[in-house]
């Protein structure tokens, strides 16, 4: 008495093919989206790197210009140049008898400008990596998501 029931209608073959095609193409589309996202992020980081490199070149050029201007200032204010300019404008050197020097008690004079450390001394620079950034991305992920959290009783397991 067991009868097999037949379905009143069947799916059309093209619908089944379309569904199987869609399910097989879905991972390819997802992979394409991930690759496109990766390329966009890579392009942005490459552009930022090029901008940083250009800024370093600009900084070096500005530092060279500053050094050149300091050299020119030193040259134009040197004793020989100042003496020649004074002669051109009509100034004469005073005789040694007419020059008077005064000593001022308590005046120490100008201090020397220390631009660089003396040779032979080691200069310790700041650490390259901040002490707060000593955890890897994997370690952070494990501690954040997979280890017992004090905010959630019992944590996520």
Compute the distance between CA of residue 71 and CA of residue 106 in angstroms, rounded to an integer. 33
- Radius of gyration (C-alpha) of the chain in whole angstroms: 40
Mean pLDDT for 32-61 is: 95
Q: Bigger pLDDT: 157 or 147?
A: 147
Give the pLDDT score at 6.
Answer: 67
pTM over the 0.85 mark: no
Q: Where are the domains of the chain?
A: 12-91
User: pLDDT per residue over 52-90, tens digit each?
Assistant: 999 999 999 999 999 999 999 999 999 999 999 999 999
Give the pLDDT score at 2.
Answer: 64
DSSP string, 61-111: HHHHHHHHHHHHHHHHTSHHHHHHHHHHHT--PPPGGG------TT---PP
Give the pLDDT score at 71.
Answer: 96
């Amino acid at each position: 008495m067991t009868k097999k029931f037949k379905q009143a209608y069947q799916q059309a073959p093209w619908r089944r093919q379309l569904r199987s095609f869609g399910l097989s193409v879905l991972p390819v589309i997802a992979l394409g989206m991930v690759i496109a996202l990766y390329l966009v992020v890579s392009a942005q980081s490459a552009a930022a790197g090029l901008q940083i490199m250009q800024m370093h070149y600009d900084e070096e050029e500005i530092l060279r210009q500053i050094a050149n201007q300091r050299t020119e200032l030193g040259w134009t204010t040197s004793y020989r140049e100042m003496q020649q300019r004074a002669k051109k404008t009509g100034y004469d050197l005073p005789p040694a008898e007419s020059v008077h020097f005064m000593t001022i008690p308590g005046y120490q004079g100008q201090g020397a400008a220390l631009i660089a450390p003396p040779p032979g001394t080691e200069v310790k620079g700041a650490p390259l990596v901040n002490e707060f950034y000593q955890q890897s991305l994997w370690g952070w992920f494990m501690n954040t998501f997979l280890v017992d959290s004090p905010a959630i009783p019992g944590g996520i397991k």
